[in-house]
Amino acid sequence: MAISRRLLLSLFLLRAFSSLPAQAAARGASHPSGTSGNYGSFLRNLLQDNPMITEELVRGYMSNSELEIAVHAIGSRYPNISRIYSIGKSVNGVALWVIEISDKPGQKEAEPAFKYVGNVHGDEPVGREVLIKLANWLCDNYLKDPLATLIVKNMHLHILPTMNPDGFALRRRGNANNVDLNRDFPDQFFPNNDEINYRQPETRAIMNWVKQEHFTASASLHGGALVANYPWDGSRDQSKQYYGCPDDKTFRYMASVYSQSHYNMSLSKEFKGGITNGAFWYPIYGGMQDWNYIHGGCFELTLEISDVKWPKAAELPVIWEQNRMSMLNLAASLVKTGVHGRIFAADTGHPIPGSLTIKGIGSEIRASRTYGDYHRMLAPGENYEVMASMEGFRTKATRIVVEEKAVSLDFILDRDGANGQVVRNDLGCPCDDDKLFHVQGARLELYLFVLLIIIALYVLFKRKTTSKFTIHRHSPKRPIAV
């Protein structure tokens, strides 16, 4: 009798696990979505690993030390358009190296920033390989290829080839503590995951990075399916359903940019158009994608770029070519569409770190403290009412039409007179100061005299010259100021 009960129990458990979605291994649902209880800490640890990765599969992939050499080699070969820096270390002390690609790497500019993150799961190494190829291709083709030149000149691209070097070395999904890093972020539906004692160093590194760099958009690269996944990744009641975020239309546009640029992702029979809402595919909680959008104002996609989690190394060149245009076009979409501009104080002309909202969309992004610049992803072909606001200033709004090209829109905000709060930007400028320059005593007359001479010389030069100089951003339209 006892043996039959054990047999029945074993059959029941086997049936329960076999009923899980076959694609769950891609984003990493190690447990049924309905699990309750100590949800925050329980789902971070994996009950079991995937089958052993053989030596034959590992052969041809870069080791962690070889990957580090490849990263620094890019910085050495292209010092004028790249910068190498670390955002932290893994559990086992492996540095998390980032390649920044820009015509002014390391400098703050009024430009959008995009990040690619690979190897979130240790047993999905394709991302680390193709991201090194992406960095090399961009640097090799700068000033040769128009798309490479557009990206390098108009944005800051940050590439983290591996978020989970320990998991890769151990040939398993989780990190050295056997924690699934894509379940380790604070979650809007399950506050238990806010328990900081469980937070892994790789996760903390990403969270600090997002807070420092002010990213506009990003994507993480995974394996095990072929689809572009967008928020939300989970639903309030944990059920499998379409659960769109406030920017659902924009996210679907971004996912489609990737899918339609891919060799065959958009032809998927499983996912219409090669894109999917995360909760509709299967719900997960504690994911990096949703946290980026909620807490960083960063529009992040989860990209499944290979049907096989760990394909043979011989297949990597083909996978790279199939994803190359998708990766380039997604990054370039930051400057090709959406609305971009700066927010200024009317009385001083200084940039201010105001907020930007779109009427009818319940999300907010903030302008940078240095230049007051903002960069907002929006789906083209729509009318939007854009509002800029900041405490101590009167809100301003205007309507725009986003077509196939980006809209440049500056805001000049008037003080509401309620208070005299001083707001300082990263350059140390006090935003309530009514002077752009501090001039004292008798020096004022000297400065005015020099200024008049400069103006006279400028007018004389303008009369004699016939050359025309155009300040060209990406969009040919001049910025609108409201």
Q: What is the CATH number of the domain that holds 193?
A: 3.40.630.10
CA 469 from chain center: how many Å?
34
Range of 314's domain?
54-334
Report cis status (omega within 30 of 0) of the bond before 232: yes
Per the listing, tokens 């501009």 go with 341
Residues 275 and 394 in one domain: no
Would you say residue 37 lies in a domain? no
Question: CATH code at 361?
Answer: 2.60.40.1120
Final residue before a domain boundary, out of 394, 413, 432: 413
Is 304 marked active-site?
yes
Which residues are within 8 A (CB) of 156 and not within 5 positions of it... i.e. 6 or more apart? 100, 101, 102, 105, 109, 111, 112, 113, 114
Would you say residue 461 lies in a domain? no
Would you say residue 370 lies in a domain? yes
Final residue before a domain boundary, out of 363, 388, 413: 413
Distance, in Å, from the CA atom of 268 to the CA atom of 86, rounded to the nearest integer, reads 37
Residues 232 and 311 in one domain: yes
Residues 82 and 177 in one domain: yes
Residues 373 and 274 in one domain: no
Residues 178 and 304 in one domain: yes
What does the pLDDT read at residue 141?
98
Residues 322 and 405 in one domain: no
Distance, in Å, from the CA atom of 37 to the CA atom of 23, rounded to the nearest integer, reads 25
Distance, in Å, from the CA atom of 49 to the CA atom of 77, rounded to the nearest integer, reads 39
What does the pLDDT read at residue 278?
97
What does the pLDDT read at residue 110?
97
- DSSP lists the bridge partners of residue 97 as 86
Residues 329 and 343 in one domain: no
The one-letter amino acid code at 100 reads E
Residues 320 and 349 in one domain: no
Joined tokens for residue 297: 């104002």
How many domains does one find in the chain? Answer: 2
Would you say residue 275 lies in a domain? yes
Would you say residue 60 lies in a domain? yes
Would you say residue 428 lies in a domain? no
Residues 137 and 237 in one domain: yes
- Ranges of the chain whose pLDDT falls below 70: 1-51, 192, 418-450, 458-479
Distance, in Å, from the CA atom of 425 to the CA atom of 435, rounded to the nearest integer, reads 15
Residues 73 and 173 in one domain: yes
Residues 326 and 346 in one domain: no
Residues 185 and 281 in one domain: yes
Catalytic residue among 100, 202, 213, 304: 304
Would you say residue 5 lies in a domain? no
What does the pLDDT read at residue 438?
30
Final residue before a domain boundary, out of 360, 384, 413: 413
Per the listing, tokens 């403290």 go with 369
Would you say residue 454 lies in a domain? no
